[in-house]
A and B are shown apart, each in its own frame.
Chain A
Amino acid sequence: MINIEQISKKYKSAESYSVKDLDLFIAEKEIFGLLGPNGAGKTTLISMLCSLIKPTSGSFTINGLNYKNNKNQLKQLIGIVPQEYALYPTLTAFENLKYFGSMYGLKGKNLDDKINDKLDQLGLLKFAHKKIETFSGGMKRRINLIASLLHNPNVLFLDEPTVGVDVQSKNVIIDFLQNLNKEGATIIYTSHHLNEAELFCTKVAIIDQGQLIANGKPKELITLQEGAQNLEDVFLGLTGKGLRDSA
């Protein structure tokens, strides 16, 4: 499904690589967790896969399609939920979703029905015509999610989709994503919530300093790591307890 080969990224101003010679295969209908400490290269990797930034070297394909030659086909195939709320604060939830849906060529009643359906699933239908600026963090996260999947993408990238939201919102988001996965979508997500990842993901990869250091099912990784009780133990065992501050 997603085949990443020897991908690297070094930013112009950086001294070291953010992602270095990374190989990874993500199978279809997987819920794949990209885990790692701050500055590990998770967002850079996702940004490359979403074609927001150019790899310094290496390549990748999604469903066999290469970005350079199949730009628009790939854009129709994927959805991305960015870390920030990529929404217009002064527009209503419905207006935001209608606009972003239109950018995928969706229109008319079909689009309106899809918007209403997703809003209903995520418990936001009654707020459809309220401005985004009046929404709480959890509500914005949910709208952010809907805006990325109105076109029914095969692959959904989520960059920390549950950060800064309350437990209720988090559960609604996770349930929604699991349903989406059951319907056939491949989900690739980054998170710092290791317990959430352990329960939610079918497979995880831990990356540190731009390199892949572990890859497998959560339970397998826990078994392989000596003395580990959960994914957090695995994570700390592999990446250490030292702070990863950088500027």
Chain B
Amino acid sequence: MHKLWASTYKELLLLSRDIGGVAILFVMPLVLIITVTLIQDSTFKTISDTNIPILLVNNDKGEVSKTIENGLETSNAFEIISDKTEAEAKDLVYKGTYQLAIVIPENLSVDLERKVNQNVNAIIAKFGLDDTPEEDVIEIPKKEVRLYFDPATQQSFKSSVKNGIDKMVSKIETESIYKAFQKQITDDPSEVVFETENFITFKEVVAKNGEKELLPNSVQHNVPAWTLFAIFFIIVPLSINIVKEKSQGTFVRLRTNPVSYTTVLAGKTMVYLAVCIIQFILMLLVGIFVFPEIGLPTLDISGRLPLLLLVTVFTGLAAIGLGLLLGTIATTQEQSAPFGATLVVILAALGGVWVPVFIMPKIMQVLSNISPMNWGLNAYLDIFLRHTGVVEILPELGLLFLFFIGTTSIAIIYNEKKNAV
């Protein structure tokens, strides 16, 4: 026990003497979490603070184009610029000056009305309700609203714009049809023959914790994800710490001392676990006190702190186990630092820190199950967003602990084999 305490104290001293390293360990995760949350915040808001400037080329100048323009304006997502020709708009979008240009064709309103009237007249005539003489059916060419996207635009943005425009156009067409029928059936425009409101609507039923609705915001999503990322980054300084001991010769001295490698690693585990917990607490404090000051939602941890700390301890252990293994196997800092950093990024990607697991390809979804970050993230999200208890997160905690035991055991066995005498 005395040797473990001495090892722990030595690690604490080494860490405290590296002020730059300590600053990086504690400050960088905070910078990361604030930056990412600010960037991602808008995607969680129904009304965005930032309007995307887009080009609208209105060649129609009729009712339909007015409705589209109004729809875009009232969405509050776009700032509409409408003083360009189609050729200019296309050029500006393809150069990346704007992300999107919408070109409304000439005579869209007039031709839509004519087309709808034509169809309605044909139906009325079929039922023998129309006594006016039959006119020749004139071919009305199909109309096309053209969309130009910056080639660098993300697919998700393109899809949401296309869906929005499609919905708007469908609504305009439906309303035109109703209006045409109304005109045929009654001469009184104020008489309501058709209810034009949607019959089918949808409503999101939000999960509740008691009477309180569990509405996710960017903070509830980002704090656990990026906290996890920061905790796992500890494998870089930890593996460097072990590699340094080898290059300084202190590791050779320790091998001649009556102390086990397990005790040496346990000392490191204690200190770096404390670092993980402090990192987590600092991030919670930022979420609670700093985020509201910079216009972000407050992190809500009410009643969940003990469970969150429990997950942090197990996540920290998993990260430390990986760092101990990497440091034991690597022989130079040039091996351990880039490999460690890249490994964290891969594990984060696999774990669903950047892209949710459910939208990953099947093979990646299977692979995500072996990422300790995935286990940690699930446990955090269970607590933060699903308000579950300790029983529900036990499987994740168990996996994280087994990962720690597994990686540390491999490190100890590898060291024993390599230095067997």
Is there an interface contact between A85 and B249, defined as CB atoms closer than 8 Å?
yes
Report if A65 contacts B (CB, 8 A): no
A91 CB to closest chain B CB (Å) equals 6
In B330-385, the 8 Å CB interface with A consists of: none
A197 CB to closest chain B CB (Å) equals 23
Is there an interface contact between A103 and B254, defined as CB atoms closer than 8 Å?
yes
In B18-36, the 8 Å CB interface with A consists of: 18
A50 CB contacts on chain B under 8 angstroms:
256
Is there an interface contact between B250 and A86, defined as CB atoms closer than 8 Å?
yes
A232 CB to closest chain B CB (Å) equals 30
The interface on chain A, measured as residues whose beta carbon lies within 8 A of the other chain's beta carbons, has a size of 33
Is there an interface contact between A103 and B252, defined as CB atoms closer than 8 Å?
no
Question: Given that A102-B2, A103-B3, A107-B2 are known contacts, is A87 also in contact with B248, CB under 8 Å in the complex?
Answer: yes
Is there an interface contact between A95 and B18, defined as CB atoms closer than 8 Å?
no
What mask results when residues 89 to 124 of chain A are scored 1 for a CB within 8 Å of chain B, else 0? Answer: 111000100111011110100000000000000000
Is there an interface contact between B257 and A104, defined as CB atoms closer than 8 Å?
yes
CA distance A62 to B298 in the complex (A): 67
Is there an interface contact between A103 and B421, defined as CB atoms closer than 8 Å?
no
Q: A72 touches which one: B2, B252, B258 (CB < 8 A)?
A: B258
B13 CB contacts on chain A under 8 angstroms:
90-91, 95
A105 CB contacts on chain B under 8 angstroms:
2-3, 258
A102 CB contacts on chain B under 8 angstroms:
2-3, 6
Is there an interface contact between A52 and B252, defined as CB atoms closer than 8 Å?
yes
The number of chain B residues touching the other chain, given as a range, is: 20 to 34
Is there an interface contact between B3 and A75, defined as CB atoms closer than 8 Å?
no
CA distance A240 to B348 in the complex (A): 62
CA distance A200 to B256 in the complex (A): 26
B419 CB contacts on chain A under 8 angstroms:
52
Q: A82 touches which one: B17, B253, B420 (CB < 8 A)?
A: B253
B258 CB contacts on chain A under 8 angstroms:
72, 75-76, 103-105
Q: B256 touches which one: A52, A98, A99, A107 (CB < 8 A)?
A: A52
B386 CB contacts on chain A under 8 angstroms:
none
B156 CB to closest chain A CB (Å) equals 48
Is there an interface contact between B421 and A53, defined as CB atoms closer than 8 Å?
yes
B254 CB contacts on chain A under 8 angstroms:
103
CA distance A102 to B258 in the complex (A): 10
Report if A187 contacts B (CB, 8 A): no
B2 CB contacts on chain A under 8 angstroms:
102, 105, 107
Report if B255 contacts A (CB, 8 A): yes
Q: A147 touches which one: B7, B253, B255 (CB < 8 A)?
A: B253
CA distance A216 to B284 in the complex (A): 71
Is there an interface contact between B421 and A100, defined as CB atoms closer than 8 Å?
no
Report if B52 contacts A (CB, 8 A): no
A95 CB contacts on chain B under 8 angstroms:
10, 13
Is there an interface contact between B6 and A86, defined as CB atoms closer than 8 Å?
no
CA distance A98 to B9 in the complex (A): 11
Which of B249, B250, B256, B420 has the most C-beta atoms of chain A within 10 angstroms of its own C-beta?
A: B256
A174 CB to closest chain B CB (Å) equals 22
Report if B193 contacts A (CB, 8 A): no
Question: Given that A52-B252, A86-B248, A102-B3 are known contacts, is A75 also in contact with B257, CB under 8 Å in the complex?
Answer: yes
Report if A80 contacts B (CB, 8 A): yes
Question: Given that A54-B420, A54-B421, A95-B10 are known contacts, is A103 also in contact with B250, CB under 8 Å in the complex?
Answer: no
Is there an interface contact between A87 and B250, defined as CB atoms closer than 8 Å?
yes
B417 CB to closest chain A CB (Å) equals 11
B420 CB contacts on chain A under 8 angstroms:
54
Question: Given that A86-B248, A88-B248 are known contacts, is A52 also in contact with B255, CB under 8 Å in the complex?
Answer: yes
A91 CB contacts on chain B under 8 angstroms:
10, 13-14, 17
Report if B259 contacts A (CB, 8 A): yes
Is there an interface contact between A100 and B252, defined as CB atoms closer than 8 Å?
no
Residue of B nearest to A101 (CB): B6
CA distance A80 to B256 in the complex (A): 7
CA distance A67 to B421 in the complex (A): 8
B252 CB contacts on chain A under 8 angstroms:
52, 82, 84, 86
CA distance A61 to B250 in the complex (A): 26
B253 CB contacts on chain A under 8 angstroms:
80, 82, 86, 100, 147-148
Report if A16 contacts B (CB, 8 A): no
Q: List 13 A-B contacts (CB under 8 A).
A: A50-B256, A52-B255, A52-B256, A52-B419, A52-B421, A72-B258, A75-B257, A80-B253, A86-B253, A89-B248, A90-B18, A95-B10, A102-B6
B residues contacting A by CB (< 8 A) are 2-3, 6-7, 9-10, 13-14, 17-18, 248-250, 252-259, 419-421
A residues contacting B by CB (< 8 A) are 50-54, 67, 72, 75-76, 78-80, 82, 84-91, 95, 98-100, 102-105, 107, 131, 147-148
Which 8 A-B pairs give the minimum distances between C-beta atoms? A102-B6, A86-B249, A90-B17, A86-B253, A84-B249, A103-B257, A75-B258, A103-B259
